[in-house]
Copies of this chain bind each other. A is one copy, B any other.
Amino acid sequence: MGVKERKALEKQIRRDQILDAARTLLFSSGLESISISRISKQSELGVGTIYFYYKNKEEIFVALQKEGVTLLYSIIFQISKKDIDHGEKLIRIAKAYYKFSQEQKHYFDIINYFLSSPIVFFEPDLKNQIDMSGRKILVLIKDIVDEGIQKGVFNEKDPKKFSIMFWGTLHGLIHFKKLEKTILEKESHEKLFDYSVQKLIHSIK
């Protein structure tokens, strides 16, 4: 291994080290607990060092978000490769996202952070990163819908729009989890979720 490669590797290791620290914070105390100085302490690196490896806090957030999205992608990818009914696939994907939002709450939070915050904008530089990670999930869903249509199981003129709508519905409903004890009253949030998924799938059958 040449000097260059080793350097690059070491650099990656440090970046990972920082990310590890940030992730540890995220999972131990939540999104709000992530600050550069905390990461610095957690990683046992100087503050300046953090900034040497990441341009700013946002970049670290993006990295964490990418992790979350990648994890979610892999989960959905598994399902998409299963040899099951297309409708069933969508159902399982929905369930998986629901589960993800509960069990990988912190990853969900950070994904949501970029989607919900009134102030955050994606810097152009990060556009590609988001594209690479986030879009792939949508493509996965669209592929299933496309295939379903081909196989004659689904009937939908605009599979792309449907896929986004599908995902948007899941996303919006997960937010409503917070309302479980109030607005939703006796409605079980999970049943509501299932109902919606059914409805969606039925709408393209």
Chain A residues packing against B (C-beta within 8 Å)? 30-32, 105-106, 109, 112-119, 121-122, 127, 130-131, 134-135, 138, 158, 160-162, 164-165, 167-173, 175-176, 178-179, 181-184, 187, 191-192, 195-196, 199-200, 202-203
Contacts and interface: CB of A to CB of B under 8 A. Distances in A.
Chain A residues touching B, majority SS: helix
A178 B115 contact: yes
Given A118-B30, A130-B183, A192-B165, A175 B178 contact: no
A179 B200 CA distance: 22
Given A182-B135, A203-B199, A165 B173 contact: yes
Contacts of A30: 118-119
Please indicate which of the listed interface residues A109, A115, A183, A195 has the most CB atoms of chain B within 10 Å of its own CB: A183
Please indicate which of the listed interface residues A130, A165, A171 has the most CB atoms of chain B within 10 Å of its own CB: A165
